Structure 1
Amino acid sequence: MELDRREFANLLLGGATAVSMGSLGLPAFAANNAATILKKTDAIRNPQRSFAVDVSLINYERGKVKEKTSVTTYSRPTGSQFQTLVHINAPSADRGKILLRNGNNLWLYDPSSKASVRISPRQRLLGNASNGDVVSSNLVGDYNVSLSGSETVAGGDKKNYSCHKLRLTQKASSAPYSAVDFWVDQKSNQPIKGKYYTSSGKLIKVAWYRKLKNAMGATRPTEIIIADGFDPNKVTVMTMGNYRAKDIPSSWFKKEWLPNFKG
């Protein structure tokens, strides 16, 4: 399997030629609150109830597959955020390992040692996807948000969208990035694009949200294309499928209980 490099090149070109409206666009949506916009987008990114979803990640270099990982994510809302358990299904060398987010803490459980260790949400899971990317979260819970203006940007489907441009800055230690520029469609509140930065302002990666499908009562993006901020030949495709409602007990989200998980 190969990634269509021409398609991805068009995405990069489209992102680079976005038409900025800057502060000229601000009066048209000045009454909107940035946190409200982000909250609506969060409800599209993740169902705001207990659910499970299967996620596959494929890492490409120069259009060719380098690595694959598949996981199942189980998420339970608590307050404005989620408790999340991520079970690694493949590759076989990692099968049975579990990522657990409870509050601002992120743990990795290894069944071979039966030990849980604290890990960073910024650590890479596969390619350009970090641990924090597969752990369900509401951005409004992890970041302070402000409205930067409006821009017309190219989405992952190569169409142009009139977007709110939001600036997100880290407020919780569980946030995997120090800052994010995030574009949200003004009509639908769909996430369109994100640019992710280190604390020094270096671009880590760019992501496009696409392939909208109806799942658990909302139209959601089911594929995210993630380009490396340093090497555009390195691309990770993250695909979400089989969203389903699931009652998840609170006991699942205690690290001491993880050896009992059966999937």
Structure 2
Amino acid sequence: MTIEFDRRALIAGFGSFALGATLIPGAARAASAGEILAATDRLRNPQQSFRSQITITEYIGGRKNDEMAITVYSKPRPSDGQFRSIVHIDAPRKDAGKLMLRDGKDLYFYDPDAANTIRISPQQRLLGQASNGDVMTTNFSRDYRADLAGTETVEDARKAQRNCYKLKLKASNKAAVYGSIDYWVDAKSMHPVKGRFHSSSGRLMKIAFYDEYRQTMGALRPTKASIIDGLDTSKVTVMRFAKFTAVDLPDAWFQKSYLPRFRKS
């Protein structure tokens, strides 16, 4: 199967900062780094209890290699606004019904066939370049400290020039999946455009482009994230987000002890 997007355009895009980025002359700093980051959180995720579906497709050398479908249930904690999440694996059939739970820094995996719950790492790969932590609903402003590094013109996933704020994010607690993130946000729309994700040691792990903004649950939200391996650019994983639905989620769901009783709704 031929890849459905121009991988060369993506590779060119994530090199644009180093090779061709320019400062935006006279750009005004209308908001603080923290305010900009919080604005992107509100666009990436509805700030309420909701359900969504994600299709994760891995490509290697431009050809489809593997695919997974999941349903994610997310609810913000009253204490700090960060999300608790349950991930239900819908496909492939061999993994259907398996669950992941995240509440703060704690992440668990439950296999109903083995009736066993184990602690897992958010950095562990789920499929392709998508990690366990990537499929959990997260407000970056709750797990990272943001600094405004300036304004730049960068290329997005479609090779269009975008005037962006560049944010430098540093992990502020142990729940953060990455050590640091370079994050480009459209200066006009506050849409996230691009991210470079680093380990705690500073190693570049992946580059992500956010795309295909659609009106859903009251806002224009990115419904596609293309993730490129930080070392091997032939490895690309596409996450597609769909069917955002407001739902009332019981607090009891987000407990390790409840996983054996969980039923997809």
TM-score, normalised relative to structure 1:
0.95
Q: Look up the SS of the partner of 1:43 in the other structure.
A: helix
In the other structure, the counterpart of 2:43 is 44
Displacement of 1:15 in angstroms is 2.9
Deviations 1:143-185 (A, max 9, x none): 1111111111111222111000001111222221111100000
Q: May I ask how many residue pairs the two structures share in their alignment?
A: 260
Comparing 219-228 and 197-206, the one that deviates more: 197-206
Deviations 1:10-32 (A, max 9, x none): 1211332344345x76x733452
Q: Look up the SS of the partner of 1:42 in the other structure.
A: helix
In the other structure, the counterpart of 1:3 is 3
Q: Distance in 2 between matches of 1:31 and 1:53?
A: 32
Task: Give structure 1 stretches of 5+ with no counterpart.
Answer: none
1:246-261 mapped onto 2 (5 Å cutoff): 246-261=247-262
Deviations 1:220-249 (A, max 9, x none): 110110000110000000000011111101
Deviations 1:190-211 (A, max 9, x none): 0100001122222111100001
Deviations 1:88-118 (A, max 9, x none): 1111111111110112211111111222111
**1:55, 1:70 within 8 Å by CA — same for their partners in 2?**
yes
Give aligned-pair identity as a percent: 42
Displacement of 1:2 in angstroms is 2.1
Q: Residue 65 in 1 paired to residue 64 in 2?
A: yes
1:1-263 mapped onto 2 (5 Å cutoff): 1-4=1-4, 7-18=6-17, 19-21=20-22, 28-30=27-29, 32-78=31-77, 79-263=80-264
Q: Distance in 2 between matches of 1:71 and 1:187?
A: 32
Q: Look up the SS of the partner of 1:109 in the other structure.
A: strand
Which amino acid in structure 2 is aligned with residue 83 of structure 1? Answer: R
Q: Look up the SS of the partner of 2:245 in the other structure.
A: strand
**1:38, 1:140 within 8 Å by CA — same for their partners in 2?**
yes
Q: Distance in 2 between matches of 1:4 and 1:56?
A: 14
**2:179, 2:199 within 8 Å by CA — same for their partners in 1?**
yes
**2:27, 2:151 within 8 Å by CA — same for their partners in 1?**
no
**2:7, 2:62 within 8 Å by CA — same for their partners in 1?**
no
Which amino acid in structure 2 is aligned with residue 77 of structure 1? Answer: P
Q: Distance in 1 between matches of 2:116 and 2:33?
A: 41
**2:168, 2:181 within 8 Å by CA — same for their partners in 1?**
yes
RMSD: 1.5
The 1:103/1:14 distance shift into structure 2, 3 A limit, reads: closer
Which amino acid in structure 2 is aligned with residue 37 of structure 1? Answer: I
Deviations 1:241-262 (A, max 9, x none): 0111111010110110111111
Which amino acid in structure 2 is aligned with residue 3 of structure 1? Answer: I
